[in-house]
Structure 1
Amino acid sequence: MTLLLTMLLLHGCTGAITTPEESVILAEDGALAADVSSDNTLALISSVNDGILVWDITSREKKFQWSHQGEGNNLVTNIHIAPDNSHAVTSDREAFAIWSLISGEPIGFWRIDESSIRDVAVSNQGRGILVGRGNGKVMFFEHETGRRIEFLGHQEKINSVALSPNGFYALTGGNDYVAYLWDTRTGQVIHRFPHSSRVTKVALDDQGRYAFTADSKRDAIVWDVQSGEMISNLSFIQRQKIFSTARFSQDGKYLLTGSPTRRVNLWNIGDGSEHTEWKVTPKKGSRPQSAVVYATGFLPNNKLLTISSSGLAEVWSQ
């Protein structure tokens, strides 16, 4: 009881940081999705009115502007940058495309007729594309060779997917209360991560150390990828916490998460404790005032980067 009271008092005293050190408009009328490259030099934005935008974060210059399905409204809600910055994948509910981040040119476009696309990921050199669908199937596709494998382990719709940089390992989570780590070369399950409710977010550490799986209730777990054992369960007071993005720090000490309610949290991986909380700037004109945090990144000198549905890239101090 005393411990709980102490935690409540600490939480009430600290509060969330709401004033960024810097703020840059990347999408004037807001964003539908965003991703930040692993080295935090590129930002990929699905804008409300200007298609898909690629920004150089360092120079703050727009590199490319793409249209996913030609003219008309932009409906892209899933995007991902390959860990080596070579390629990007974009998708709406019915089609996905792969692009070169070197030339800015499209490489391929594929339509999915069987079921809606829920999430996508791409590996280094654009070699493999992972597509999670509403019918519970996950497709791994190599566009250069035409090789395709379908993972049929899930029983209900997929909510989130992640892919290792080399494309050999996939992490997928769905409404069947399970996340699977599986081999894209064989389709074989490596680890099964059970939850008590639908799995809403998954993430993989680029260094191959950790997996993160979170459900719609209280479990948000960091796992050891090698052993499959739980390292920590994130500790928060709310009855539930939904995550819209998650990223591991390069030194393996921290997990940075974003939510659909403006909140950005830094967690200690070792014990699941919260280090700091921030709240991004709300989307202009939103009622109630809020914003979805789509992407986060670790910058040098203990700085953090966030991109949200407000269309803003914001820099914060730890």
Structure 2
Amino acid sequence: MVKLVNIKWTSLLFACAMLSCFTLTGCGPDTSKAVMTVEHASRGAFSAAISADGHYSLVSSIEHGAVLWDNQEQGLKFQWRHSDAPDDLIHSLALANDNSTAVTATDKTFAIWSIESGQNLGYFEIESGTIRDIAISNAGRYLLYARSDNVVVHLDLESGRRIEFLGHQENINSIAMSPNGHFALTGGNDYTAYFWDTRTGQVIHRFNHPSRVTKVALDDQGRFAFTADSMKKASIWQLTSGDLKAQLQYIARQKIFSAVRFNQDATLLATGSPNRELILWQVSDGERLQTWRVQPREGSRPKSAVVFDVAFQDQDTALLTESSSGLLEKFAQVKKP
């Protein structure tokens, strides 16, 4: 069986709250509030994911397990639990790019769900390690998860085929998988991110960093990859060649990213952080275009929030976020380059 590591953001929340006014954006006039806010978890969320088109949000909380929200109808669609045990908490989850399926993970299990019917499509226990991150492909065919023993596992849920990627030497912090399930991007404490073929396990590109890699993301169309470390380097890479496309331009000594999304034509990149920051960047040169701040949960100490996920909406004129506050927020006036 596998245990899921519950990534603890408490210390990051405190540090980022103290440092937020010393970042590039500081407390400047370009920060603004959401134009729409909807409560999805009254006592805050453990984890959350937004579908690529912004249609759905999947939010885990202590009260409700995992809840799938329809962001167009602004209504609850399904509620999923792995068991009735109070400590059987869902800490990691993901939505397929085609809105077909979702995956939820507790300490020892993961489950696949149909977004259309809400039906459970499979329930699994894993034998060793602890799950650190998880992803699911279109049609729910392929699953990718990182274990605490430095192994990344790729599963073909249709054929049962399994590949273990052993390239990382230390803990893996973040993973991403292409919508078709054929490629993976993984980053860890060994200062390295690997882009690799899930059908063969072969490395296509290796991206090196001066400190541990904390966040990775892939463009849905397979053009670019994003990798960021724990200090000052956040990079956009050209996947066809492995060459550096751009580095995000900021002067903070330390910047952590907790959410990343490319827009559909890969001209824009949105990032969220553990210090409430939501930033829009230009992919071509890494220039910062706009900054917002999500709301902290009422009564929280320190008054901060982790941005769990972000998605583009309304032809890139708006951004949606889900955060540890348990709130869906919409931010408008996105300026395209």
- Please give the range of the TM-score, normalised by the shorter of the 2 chains: over 0.9
Q: Equivalent residue for 1:214? A: 228
Q: 1:269 aligns with which of 283, 286, 295?
A: 283
Residues 1:179 and 2:199 are matched in the alignment = no
Q: How does 1:276-291 map to 2 (within 5 A)?
A: 276-291=290-305
The amino acid that maps onto 2:69 is W
Residues 174 and 39 of structure 1: CA distance in aligned 2, closer, same or farther (over 3 Å): same
**1:70 Cα shift?**
3.4
SS state of the match for residue 275, structure 2? Answer: coil
CA contact (8 A) 1:80 1:122 kept: yes
Residues 1:309 and 2:320 are matched in the alignment = no
**1:14 Cα shift?**
3.8
Q: 1:123 aligns with which of 137, 142, 155?
A: 137
Q: Equivalent residue for 1:143? A: 157
**1:9 Cα shift?**
12
Q: Equivalent residue for 2:11? A: none
Which aligned segments of 4 or more residues in structure 1 are displaced greater than 6 angstroms? none
Which has the higher relative contact order, 1 or 2, with Cα contacts under 8 A spaced 6 or more apart? 2
SS state of the match for residue 31, structure 1? Answer: coil
Q: How does 1:137-286 map to 2 (within 5 A)?
A: 137-286=151-300
Matches of 1:175 and 1:93, distance apart in 2: 21
CA contact (8 A) 1:160 1:174 kept: yes
Residue deviations 1:185-244 (CA, integer Å, cap 9, x gap): 000001001111111000001011110000001111000011100101111121011010
Matches of 1:71 and 1:16, distance apart in 2: 45
Matches of 1:283 and 1:164, distance apart in 2: 33
Residue deviations 1:26-69 (CA, integer Å, cap 9, x gap): 11211111111111111111123111000110001111000033
**1:12 Cα shift?**
5.7
SS state of the match for residue 186, structure 1? Answer: coil
The amino acid that maps onto 2:199 is R
Matches of 1:76 and 1:165, distance apart in 2: 23
Matches of 1:13 and 1:130, distance apart in 2: 38
Q: Equivalent residue for 2:18? A: none
**1:279 Cα shift?**
0.6
CA contact (8 A) 2:25 2:291 kept: no
The amino acid that maps onto 2:325 is S
Percent of aligned positions that are identical: 51
Q: TM-score, normalised by structure 2?
A: 0.89
SS state of the match for residue 125, structure 1? Answer: helix
Matches of 2:26 and 2:45, distance apart in 1: 31
Matches of 1:25 and 1:9, distance apart in 2: 28
Structure 2 stretches lacking a partner, 5+ long: 1-21
| Count of residues in Structure 1 that have an aligned counterpart in Structure 2 | 311
CA contact (8 A) 2:93 2:102 kept: yes
Matches of 1:285 and 1:74, distance apart in 2: 26
Q: TM-score, normalised by structure 1?
A: 0.94
Structure 1 stretches lacking a partner, 5+ long: 1-7
Residues 133 and 273 of structure 1: CA distance in aligned 2, closer, same or farther (over 3 Å): same
Matches of 1:203 and 1:65, distance apart in 2: 27
Residue deviations 1:105-143 (CA, integer Å, cap 9, x gap): 111122223111000000000010001011110000112
SS state of the match for residue 241, structure 1? Answer: coil
Matches of 2:88 and 2:30, distance apart in 1: 33
Matches of 1:230 and 1:10, distance apart in 2: 22
SS state of the match for residue 256, structure 1? Answer: strand
Q: How does 1:26-175 map to 2 (within 5 A)?
A: 26-175=40-189
Residue deviations 1:78-120 (CA, integer Å, cap 9, x gap): 1110000001111133322111111101111222231110000
